[in-house]
Amino acid sequence: MEKAARRARRLDAQDPLAPFVDRFAPVPDGQVFLNGGSLGRLPAATPALLDRVVRGDWGDRLARARTQWLDLPQRVGNRMAAVALGARPGEVVVSDCTSVNLYKLTVAALDARPGRRTVVVDDDNFPTDRYVVAGVAAGHGRALRTVHTDPDAGLDLETLRAAVDEDTAVVVLSLVSHRSGALLDMAEVHEIAHAQGALVLWDLSHAVGAVDLQLAATGADLAVGATYKHLMAGPGCPALLYVRRDLQSQAVQPVHGWYGHREQLAMRPEYDPDPTIRRFLTGTPPALSVVAAEPALDLLAEAGMAAVRAKSRALTGFLTELAGAVLVPRGLRPAGPADPERRGAHVTYRHPQAGKLVPALAEAELFVDYTHPDRVRLSPAPLSTRYADVVEAVRRFREVLTAFDPPPYRKGAGVPEAAVDPYGRAL
């Protein structure tokens, strides 16, 4: 590992994004954090900003501060659009959670494509997405067509092409698989769906803030996404919601509320949706959580998403190279695309005792993630992870793996039930 450590030091010295590491709250001594795909690191500027908002805007101005937050979901949405989404002003708001936004936009998509009876989803999509879409389809008398996806390689687009027809209203997919990290070709998916007159609704949760997205340039229709992962907005921050400008007048979301009313403060007796992106809002936003999204957007804007994506590819490439040499011979097996261009910002491996392995890694102060039933997910964050951190992570991983001495991993072999969950709690 010493040769790898020397190489990491050279890469860190040459890395144009290396100074950004110091603009995050420090990781506690001795810990290595490779779990940015679950919760992004805390930008160092966030606590001071929240303190200023709490003491100044709320504490000093009291109820007068309320009016300055009325357009907060649109203001922060516009910032996300410009920095991380490649979208235009007036196409993004920050509101609710990803699941609620997915519900709102799935219903809106069906309304925008009347007469079409089919909703397409894939079986490797995030479970909540599948639950929401299945519920909407059942509640609106639509057929749900589920496409099989290879859990390691991702969705085959020819399989998708065969599943989408003139009866398809909307295709609901994750751009980056939460398990394997497989990255879809957004433009090609749009071509497949739009050729049949269908809409595409993306879940960008594992892509936004790590992948250089260009929603406007690729003709994206609808999208949602978590903001607490690679956008580093913090736990509890509402999700993003994107609707292409020309679709907004056709799509009326089902959860009517005063924030989406054309005359928000007039308190009219009847609901009249605002003609802009504001129609997709419902109730009062959690202002402190939305404000907390801004410091990370400043960092991403300064770095530039093209550079962030390049660093992400380099980090995951370095990680897979070291893991291939050190960890795979000890029983770990790749469970995602080998090509950095075809994966997002995380790398996944299979191990028959993954449910025990992840808490054991935490005991060694290496923090990664577990996905059922047998996968370990590592997410080096481009702005806050050094190449030296990757080397140290692989070193600790190797030490923990040697203690397991698992039987050879066989394709199709049963996966033992874990005695503990990924956080060390007894099952």
The residues annotated with a catalytic role in the active site are 126, 203, 228-229, 377
**Which of 37, 412, 95, 389 lies closest to 242, judged by CA?**
95
Question: Rounded CA gap, 292 and 44, in Å?
Answer: 11
Per DSSP bridges, beta strands 222-225 and 239-243 are: antiparallel
Give, as one character, the DSSP assignment of residue 341. G
Q: Do residues 368 and 361 lie in contact, with contact meaning Cβ atoms separated by under 8 Å?
A: yes
Element (H, E) at 95: strand 92-95
Q: Do 294 and 49 form a contact (C-beta atoms < 8 A)?
A: yes
Residue in the structure block whose two tokens are 């879409």: 133
- SS3 call for 271: coil
Give 323's contacts (C-beta < 8 A, 6+ positions apart): 332, 334, 347, 349, 394, 397
Q: How far is CA 363 from the centre of its chain?
A: 26
Q: Please state, in angstroms and as integers, the Cα–Cα distance from residue 227 to each residue in 126, 308, 362, following that order.
A: 16, 16, 24
Q: Is 20 helix (H, G, I), strand (E, B) or coil?
A: helix
Contacts of 61 (CB under 8 A, 6+ apart): none
Tokens 């909703």 sit at which residue? 119
Inter-residue contact 319 to 390 (CB < 8 Å): yes
Residue labelled with tokens 């580093």: 232
In angstroms, the CA 312 to CA 380 distance is: 7
End-to-end CA distance of the chain: 36
Q: Are 291 and 50 in contact (CB under 8 A)?
A: yes
| 77 φ, ψ (degrees, to nearest 5) | -60, -40
Q: How far apart are CA 384 and CA 143, in angstroms?
A: 44
CB 349 within 8 A of CB 357: no
